[in-house]
């Protein structure tokens, strides 16, 4: 597996990482723990050195899973996790919105270290911007945690270009994580130019459009209530039908390249910048191998221009999130 560098402070990881959220949370019921540990081991064996989790996934159970799975590989892989939400004191499985107070950050880090079985978190993201806490204070708290040896690198998730600049002035930001794919390209407006200027890496989550760009979700797809996508405007029957045009585009190019639509979508991301590291999630070995195959797929300049032209015509329908969730992003 090829390696890529995130930021300027020495964080080198596999060109494609593994998003672990879906193993425990959001995409239907939690998956079998032993099977997911086996999948994580298979990822390491195939060269993956970058794993993404968060305390809110589960909550807490995904960090525990990742900690157990990667314990044999300590020092060989980089683990990213996130703080930024406040647990509900009445219901363990619920959260009370964002909270990036210094006390909450320190509390989150201590819990994550324990669950992940680590002495130092490789990459610590603020999960969502907290409008009540100046980002300079957040960066200062993480800076102190780095001094203490509890964190190596600081990251932001779904933050605006302005917020990134302010944080970076206090504590260098190693990576910014935001949704980015052929069907969500907003980071191209301000975020990507800003982080290129500052020397910050970029980690696209949902690089396959929450599974849609794999070509396996048809217009008549149904989602269980435990599946996060059941409440997303982009996954209504009307939107799914309208958005098939983008999948057909990927399928046509994939056929020419003897690849899959998912591989084309990931290869397109990798071709954008050398400091972009997507983290597709999966719970299946075959999908893991398919996704990792994108790292060796070469898209020519002509291929990329064709994708751009066709993507411009395939106007994506449906909002990314319901309004109340979109308001929690800092974009």
H-only helix segments in the chain: 33-45, 61-70, 102-116, 135-147, 161-168, 191-198, 237-242, 244-257, 261-272, 285-292, 301-313, 323-326
- DSSP conformation letters of 161-228: HHHHHHHHTTS-EEEEEEE-BTTB-GGGTTHHHHHHHHT-EEEEESTTTTTGGGT---TT----TTBG
Burial of 200 (0-12, 13-18, 19+ CB in 10 A): buried
CA dist list (Å): 65 to 32, 267, 292: 10, 29, 22
Q: How many residues in total does the chain contain?
A: 331
Cβ-contact 81, 87 below 8 angstroms: no
The overall longest dimension of the chain from CA atoms, in Å, is 56
- Closest-CA residue to 291 (of 280, 303, 276): 280
Query: Which among 25, 57, 125, 180 is annotated as catalytic?
Result: 57
Q: Is 57 a catalytic residue?
A: yes
- Closest-CA residue to 80 (of 40, 20, 139): 20
Q: Which residues are known catalytic residues?
A: 57
């Amino acid at each position: 597996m090829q390696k890529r560098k995130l930021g300027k402070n020495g964080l080198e990881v596999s060109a494609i990482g593994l998003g672990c959220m879906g193993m425990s949370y959001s995409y239907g019921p939690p998956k079998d723990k032993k099977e997911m540990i086996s999948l994580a081991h298979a990822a390491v064996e195939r060269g993956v050195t970058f794993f993404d989790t968060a305390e809110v996934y589960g909550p807490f159970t995904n960090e525990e899973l990742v900690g157990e799975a990667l314990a044999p590989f300590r020092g060989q892989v980089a683990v990213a996790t996130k703080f930024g939400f406040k647990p509900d004191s009445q219901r363990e499985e619920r959260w009370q919105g964002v909270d990036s107070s210094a006390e909450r950050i320190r509390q989150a880090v201590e819990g994550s270290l324990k669950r992940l079985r680590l002495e130092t978190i490789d990459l610590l993201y603020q999960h969502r911007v907290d409008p009540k806490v100046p980002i300079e204070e957040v960066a200062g708290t993480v800076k102190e945690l780095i001094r203490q040896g509890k964190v190596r690198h600081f990251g932001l998730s779904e933050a605006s270009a302005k917020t990134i600049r302010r944080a970076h002035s206090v504590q260098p930001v190693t990576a910014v994580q935001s949704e980015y794919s052929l069907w969500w390209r907003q980071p191209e407006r301000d975020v990507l130019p800003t982080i290129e200027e500052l020397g910050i890496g970029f980690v696209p989550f949902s690089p396959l459009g929450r599974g849609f760009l794999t070509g396996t979700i048809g217009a008549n797809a149904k989602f269980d209530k435990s599946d996060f996508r059941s409440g997303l405007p982009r996954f209504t029957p009307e939107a799914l039908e309208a958005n098939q045009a983008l999948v057909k585009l990927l399928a046509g190019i994939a056929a020419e390249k003897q690849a899959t639509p998912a591989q084309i979508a990931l290869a397109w991301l990798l071709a954008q910048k050398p400091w972009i590291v997507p983290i597709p999630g999966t719970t299946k070995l075959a999908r893991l191998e398919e996704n990792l195959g994108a790292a060796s797929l070469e898209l020519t300049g002509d291929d990329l221009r064709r994708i751009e032209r066709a993507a411009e015509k395939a106007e994506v329908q449906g909002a990314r999130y319901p309004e109340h969730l979109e308001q929690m992003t800092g974009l």
